[in-house]
Amino acid sequence: MRSYSERGAGYWDIAEDRKLKMRNWCLIGLAMAVLVGCVNSNEVTSEQLAMMDQADKAVAGALFEAEVDASTSYNVRKDGFVAIWFSLDVPNDVYTRVVSQLRADERVKGVRAEQGGREVCVLKQAR
């Protein structure tokens, strides 16, 4: 077998180029596998979608009735739990009434409420 100096610098470049291409294809394959796994874990079944829709209706209705829909934002998870963020201008009695109303509603599986970045109400237990 010829030594590196006899083969020339071009031989080394070809071997390194092949190694880099192989490594890049392996990394691309790994990234694709991870992305496919993430997509599959975020699928929502029709049952979960119906549960989310019912919880969304309950939250939207409660916020609209209390006239604080413009001062809040919320997220409904696929398991029916709701996270609500109230702005600081929402009075404490209105805040308490809305959260209590949602906790009593059968369509909502749990509530986590924050006001001004501070968690005020913890999750209620699933039924």
| pLDDT (tens digit per residue) in 63-87 | 899 888 888 888 999 888 999 998 8
What is d(CA 37, CA 17) in angstroms, rounded to the nearest whole number?
30
Tell me: do 73 and 102 sit in the same domain.
yes
The whole-number average pLDDT for the span 82-106 is 89
Question: What is the number of structural domains in the chain?
Answer: 2
Looking at residue 9, what is its pLDDT?
54
Looking at residue 125, what is its pLDDT?
47
Tell me: do 52 and 27 sit in the same domain.
no
23/60: higher pLDDT: 60
Strands ordered across the beta sheet of 81-86: 72-76, 81-86, 110-115, 118-121
Q: Which residues contact 52 (CB under 8 A, 6 or more apart)?
A: 44, 76, 77, 78, 80
Range of the domain at 37: 4-41
pTM attached to this predicted model: 0.61
Tell me: do 50 and 36 sit in the same domain.
no
Q: How does the average pLDDT of the chain come out, rounded? A: 78
Give me 28's structure tokens: 């691309």
